[in-house]
Amino acid sequence: MIVVVGLSHRTAPLEVRERLVAGADALPAVLARLAGREELGEVMFLSTCNRVEVVALVNGEPLLESGLAAIREELARQGGAANGDQLAPYLYEKRGDEAVRHVFRVAASLDSMVLGEPQILGQVKDAYDAAVAAGALRGTLMRCVSRAFAVAKRVRTETAIGAGTVSISSVAVDLARRIFADLDERVVLLLGAGEMAEAAARSLGKGARALRICNRSFDRAASLARDMQAAAVPWEGLEAELAQADVVVASTASARPVVTRDMVKRAMKARKGRSLLFVDIAVPRNVEPEAHAIDNVYVFNIDDLEQEVARGMKARHAELDAAEAIVADDVAQFLVWTRGLEVQPTVVAMRGKTRAVLLSELDRSLSGRLRHLTEGDRAALTQMVESAVNKLLHGPTTRLKARAADGDDAGELAAAVRFLFDLEEAAAAQKAARAEGENARDDDDDRLPN
């Protein structure tokens, strides 16, 4: 059974999540400890700023509770907790169908803080690669996570879940492009050094001709400029900078506007009317609202930007039902495949035992009363036995696989077949099939598209 145990931005505050993060250096040891537990056949450890999860394949129903306990212990150890009770209020556990659905939704960014953000898919792929490299992912769970990648691609291409601007940075870039079409020959001025404004300036600066930073503390401006490959300018030169800049991202801690209407009016005269965009993220505002009335001057404050973000999120949420339908469809297909794995060892054992009994009886006859038969006759009889096995067991095999596909009582039927045919060896084969599910090659395997 596939299980998920973890916490996310929905269940735990940042100060709890950050304690459990496993960096690249620590990850191999974490995977080794988890994979070394006899209860767990396969494991993957997903660690991001918004979630820490262990996805695992438990080695059979009797080991389920102890397998979940093993995962909780490792998470507590990773978080430096004296015992699991400290972490328990923040953890969620998902089992079976619910766990598969969760893995698919996470990869498709349907459980992210920002719906439709693309980063999570790359993070899941990194976790997958690390688990494969550690030898902790190889069979059924590997197939599950691989399928999650395909689900994420379907959601991204068949819906508009990733459309719309949903961050202040992306809105700032979008506004700049609406006004200037492109930023290749534009100058971006960062006024102040607020974290959100810095992020917006970084995004704008990627396509701009130049990025300049003006801050009351020149040392802070110079330090930030080195980090952002920009130029630092003194605070006293602000008005002159307005005459040169095309986009100004403002975020100072000033209690009153640092850019007045009169300053902008003088700057526009020096600019000979060239458009000037202000992205004012500060609260209180850094740019006098009256500046917006000047020809070719555009002033957007934090409320304007948040309205743009809200529109983008609304557009994404409108696509959520379509995305969830894709997830549900792929979960159903994956579960058909896994249920096929559950009955396949029984089918193989039933056919193998029947064939062995009939061929043994044939060999006895060919060694006794029928020993006078030619090689051709012997081959014909052997082929007759093979054909009889196929025809005799076609109905039971087909019905058992059909029940597995429907998710009804296939497990009970398989157990009954093992009892009636005395197929004790099928139980061992069942466990091996779970561990090496990806290698199982039967007719039902083709039902799950690659």
User: Residue 52's closest CA among 124, 147, 136?
Assistant: 124
Which secondary-structure segment (H or E) carries 240?
A: helix 238-244
β-bridge mates for residue 276, sequence order: 297
Contact 30, 84 (CB under 8 A): no
User: Residue 259's closest CA among 294, 232, 226?
Assistant: 294
| Cβ count within 10 A of residue 1 | 20
DSSP-derived 3-state class of residue 274: coil
Tell me whether residue 356 is exposed, middle or buried, using C-beta atoms within 10 angstroms of its C-beta: 0 to 12, 13 to 18, 19 or more: exposed
Which amino acid, residue 138? R
Where do runs of H (alpha helix) occur along 159-210? 168-180, 195-205
Q: 321 CB contacts (<8 Å, ≥6 apart)? A: none
Task: Render 323-376 in DSSP notation, one character per residue.
Answer: HHHHHHHHHHHHHHHHHHHHHHHHHHHHHHHHHHHHHHHHHHHHHTTTTT--HH
Catalytic residue among 14, 32, 49, 428: 49
β-bridge mates for residue 386, sequence order: none
Q: Is 49 a catalytic residue?
A: yes
CA distance between the termini of the chain: 22
How is residue 308 written in tokens?
């743009």
Q: How far is CA 15 from CA 11, 22, 28, 87, in A?
A: 12, 14, 24, 12
Phi, psi of 191 (to 5 degrees): -105, 110
Q: Compute CA 306 distance to the chain's CA centroid, rounded to the nearest angstrom.
A: 26
Contact 342, 430 (CB under 8 A): yes
Which amino acid, residue 400? L
How is residue 411 written in tokens?
């497990």
- Which active-site residues does the annotation give? 49
